[in-house]
Structure 1
Amino acid sequence: MSPKLLLVFSLGLTASLPAVSQNKVIRLYDGPVPGSESWKQKEAENNDNLWKTRIVYNVTDPTLTVFAPASGTANGTAVVICPGGGFQALSIDSEGFDVARWLTAKGVTCFVLKYRLVESKTTDPTKEMMASRENPQQRETAVKAVITLAQADGLKAMGFVRHHASLYGIDPKRIG
């Protein structure tokens, strides 16, 4: 195949990639993340768990994934979506990206937040969370330590959206 033909083919293939690959991911903090600078766990995903959905766990570097409405459909409203998971994991698709896609179709600009979580020692944090019910005090101690950090991530995310509202065509009074 000639280099020119290969280039044309590659460009055509790239243009046909799904829109999800075009969502911008923004780090919330520049440099080390305050309060978790010494954390060593690696962020990971799991599709085979008790919740039967894709989850993300061991988040140490909080991010926002931007979902913008199609051109001409934005209504000036924005929302920061914080997927649930008991501070052990994030149900990133069913409570994050799927919700963002639904709202974006209605003209809402969405920012899905991946916030800091309790460290998982295995590849299935949902099982860890269920097992931790046997020792609620230990679970409470672990969760309490990360709640303050997760709240800081949420506040930082709201601040980012407010600060960059004009960039995304958002009315600063319509952010939630």
Structure 2
Amino acid sequence: MKKILLTVAAAVAFSAAGFAQNSQKVTYIKSPEFKNQIYLYGKPDSVETEQWYEIEGRGQFVRNVKNPALIPYLPAKRKANGAAVIIAPGGAFLHHTFGSGGFEAAEWFKNQGFATFILKYRTEETPLDEAEHQAFVAEKMAGYRAGGLSGNYAPQTPDFAYDDICAAVKLVRGHAAEFNVQPDKIGIVGFSAGALLGVYNAESAPDESRADFIGSIYGQLVMRKMPEKLPPLFAAMSSDDELSGQSGFEVIQAWQKRGVAELHLFGQGGHNFGMGHEPYTNALWPEEFLAWLKMIKIIK
């Protein structure tokens, strides 16, 4: 089974932009009911382990995900462009951030004609009690930060997230006709930890489970062993991101030798900017990504 590594960039994703969970109001909510949710490994008897909550000013989160699923956002057939996007939210593999890098992203891509799916991949188990949960997260963050921000610190994580992203691509490709997409135009757009999943998928997945294009949004670019051929990569980050913006760009240089790579390095905006934070220029990345997909002929 493929082992993957979690870089410090993913590990501190939700705190890097100055948001400490224990300093803001946390409200636990009822699990949303998603229409036509598609479970990757069959519908479970219960999903009561999931804990959904809101953090004031930051939107919805979910943790303790044990039953991975795709949440579909499908455009009208007349508007469909023939391509699919699987959105992988960030959250350090401890939770999912379903705000700008989740629900908002899904709506935007759907409105552009993409068959869009939010991947609710499995997360690491965290304590049910909120106080214990915060203590657990704080300890994790302290450990990750102690490793430094050099880009070389990579604590090992379970296989589940990698397995889930590969299963998601395979599922969408296997049902391409049903979703009104072409099987060779299925991509991953990942945010922070989700961006790492996209890159790992491109580097390691078998053909039937590998995406055809990757959008890495504020994911850390750390050099790893790469295959000789890679799908097109679009990367966007802020140069003042204390995590992803400081790890160098060896991955882009290596990727260029094996495929198509495009890097958008914005001057300001920090980490965790989702679909963009105005007035920062990182708010332009969705339109730039769309133009890039036209250039590489994923869409017309």
In the superposition, the TM-score normalised over structure 2's length comes to 0.43
Is 1:133 matched with 2:144? no
SS at match of 2:101: helix
Residue in 2 that maps onto 1:109: 115
Give the greater-gyration-radius structure (CA): 1
Which residue is 1:99 aligned to? Answer: 105
Secondary structure at the aligned position of 1:60 is classed as coil
User: Which of 169, 178, 182 lines up with 1:158 in the alignment?
Assistant: 169
Structure 1 position 126, deviation (Å): 6.6
Q: 1:52 aligned to 2:63?
A: no
- C-alpha separation between the residues in 1 aligned to 2:43 and 2:91? 26
Matched, 1:61 2:67: yes
Whole-angstrom distance in 2 between the partners of 1:24 and 1:31: 11
- 1:79-121: CA deviation from partner (whole Å, max 9, x where unpaired): 1111000001101232112101001000011011001111111
What percentage of aligned pairs have identical amino acids?
31
Identify which range, 21-30 or 104-113, moves more after superposition: 21-30
SS of 1:132's equivalent in the other structure is: helix
Residue ranges of structure 1 left out of the alignment (5+ in a row): 1-19, 33-39
For structure 2, list consecutive stretches of 5 or more residues without a partner in the other structure: 1-31, 148-154, 188-300
Q: How well do the aligned residues superpose, as a CA RMSD in angstroms?
A: 3.0
TM-score normalised by length of structure 1? 0.71
Task: Quote the residue 1:85 is aligned against.
Answer: 91
Moved over 6 A (4+): none
Distance 1:54 1:169, change over 3 A: same
Residue 29 (structure 1) aligned to one of 34, 37, 41? 41
CA contact (8 A) 1:46 1:123 kept: no
> Would you say the 8 A contact 1:75–1:107 is kept in 2?
yes
* Paired positions, count: 145
The residue correspondences of 1:66-77 to structure 2 (distance < 5 A) are 66-77=72-83
Structure with bigger strand share is 2
The 1:132–1:152 alpha-carbon spacing in structure 2 relative to 1, beyond 3 Å, is: same
Q: Structure 1's 101 and 127: CA in aligned 2 closer, same or farther, altered over 3 A?
A: farther
Cα separation, 1, equivalents of 2:180 and 2:110 = 13
Quote the offset at 1:48 in angstroms. Answer: 2.6
Deviation at 1:134, TM superposition (A): 2.4
Give how far 1:173 is off: 1.3
Higher helix share: 1
Q: 2:94 aligns to what SS in structure 1?
A: coil
SS where residue 97 of structure 2 aligns?
Answer: coil
1: CA distance, partners of 2:90 / 2:41: 21
Structure 2 counterpart of 1:74, which letter?
A
Distance 1:110 1:127 in 2: 35
Please list the CA deviations of residues 13-34 of structure 1 after superposition, one character each: whole Å capped at 9, or x if unmatched: xxxxxxx9773201100377xx
Between 1 and 2, higher relative CO (CA 8 Å, sep ≥ 6) is seen in 1
